[in-house]
Amino acid sequence: MKIYNTLSAQKENFLPPGSQVRMYVCGVTPYDESHLGHAMFAIVFDAVRRYLIFCGYKVTYVQNITDVEDKIIERANTLGIPARALAEKFANKFFEDMAALNVLKPDIIPYATEEIPKMLEVIKGLIDRGHAYVANGSVYFRVKSMPDYGKLSHRTLDSMKSGARVEPGEEKEFPMDFALWKAAKPGEPSWDSPWGKGRPGWHIECTAMALKYLGEQIDIHGGGQDLIFPHHENEIAQSESFTGKKPFVRYWMHNGLFQLGDVKMSKSLGNIVTIRQVLEKYSADAFRMFILGSHYRNPLTLSEEAIEAAERGAERLRQALANTGKAGSEKLDATTYRQKFIEVMDDDFGTPQAIATLFDLVREINRVNEKGLDTGEARATLKELAGILGLTLEEPEQTADDAAPFIELLISTRKKLREAKQFQLADEIRDKLAEMGITLEDTPQGTVWKRKK
């Protein structure tokens, strides 16, 4: 198997030291509903993880929750609730959305604020080794102490320096130095440290959690391309300076960014399309096929036509599965399709070609079905290979409520009873419906009903 490694900027043979694959993917900073950019990284690395498991690796997948960060603090202060409560609420929603997208849950989900002791240990170690310094209650990483700083983003300190700026109140030795620990400010959550009250910088979180849960050298580290610099560059600097071991990460994988039309997917622009909004209209299979229909390193632009095409594609796969064929007759052999699927996935997770292979197999299943051949094994292969991409190929749940006509009937009966002044019977209908979780509300436009969640 070959994986494109951002560090070497080329495809490399994937050779982990054993059958264990330790994988870390930067998680979300939950302060609002999850948007499509979140779905992109989650589905990409879910497919990577599922394929590695299919190949026989034992994968340990860690994905953190950043629950202390400027945007969380700001939003929590506006709402007048603790930052942690806000983060937890939207983190739970994120994992609900992920479950709806058939994304496997990470094996370990560390919350930054629960990992402060490990962060303090790493920061202390970096100060002891001369890689970090204290200034005014904050601690900064000294980038000049690391000769190969910039190796992931393929830049030099000189080229970065021109774009760097020092925020007011920061007392850095050098503009590119970055905060490991930020001295407490009023109105912000803070923790005790040897340098006074404060909170951790963002980059140190991932270093501490990766070291704690996966060890000093990990196999795959993933995230969006927007994290290469400075976040992942700084993770390398911290981790390798602390442990003295290189490389911190054997394979750095970065997915292309999700774009909404011509505008980059970003919360600050306010053009959010949430995962929930998409799943109201399309099946999870269709959305996954839309995401995986493009190679993960390419940027992906949201397009209604493309998701609709993916929905029709998903329906074709489902129909082929439902095609029962003729058991006992000559069998359709799907081995070549299986091999093709593995071959394209082995080449840096070629999911677009993998999906194309599924369609080739479907075409063959449909063709031989007409001839009355046994497609049982071929259909099992289709289901198995689709599963590696996280496609369930199950009929999407009916969005329309099957009970709706009956509820409408009871509502009109209740109306007639009320008109006939049979209030007791009318109330009984309302109460019985309420027991079943259906609430009625009488409005000037008539009675409306809804299901309690």
Footprint of Zn ion (CB under 5 A) = 26, 206
What tokens appear for 336 in the block? 């070549």
Residue (48 or 206) nearer to Zn ion, CB: 206
**How far apart, in whole angstroms, are the C-alpha atoms of residue 376 and residue 442?**
53
On whether the CB atoms of residues 25 and 63 are closer than 8 A, the answer is yes
Which of 131/221 has CB closer to Zn ion?
221
> Smallest distance from the beta carbon of 220 to Zn ion, in angstroms?
13
Smallest gap, in angstroms, from Cβ of residue 322 to Zn ion? 43
Would you say 116 or 317 has its CB closer to Zn ion? 116
CB of 408 to Zn ion, least distance (A): 51
Least separation in angstroms between residue 231's CB and Zn ion is 6
| Alpha carbons 249 and 5: distance in angstroms, whole number | 10
> How would you write 332-348 as a 3-class SS string?
CCCHHHHHHHHHHHHEC
Cα(109)–Cα(107) distance, integer angstroms: 7
> Is residue 240 a contact partner of residue 248, using CB atoms and an 8 Å limit?
yes
CB of 361 to Zn ion, least distance (A): 38
Query: Minimum distance between the CB of residue 2 and Zn ion, rounded to whole angstroms?
Result: 25
**Do 390 and 354 form a contact (C-beta atoms < 8 A)?**
no
With beta carbons less than 8 A apart as the criterion, state whether 452 and 438 touch: yes
User: Which CB, 26 or 260, lies closer to Zn ion?
Assistant: 26
> What phi and psi values does residue 57 have, to the nearest 5 degrees?
-80, 150
> Quick one: 26 or 332, whose CB is closer to Zn ion?
26
What is the DSSP track for 8-57?
TTEEEE---SSSEEEEEE-----SS--BHHHHHHHHHHHHHHHHHHHTT-
- Minimum distance of Zn ion from residue 340's CB (angstroms): 35
**Helical (H) or strand (E) element with 448:** strand 446-451
Cβ nearer to Zn ion, comparing 206 with 365? 206
* Complex with Zn ion: residue 28 or 52, whichever CB lies closer: 28
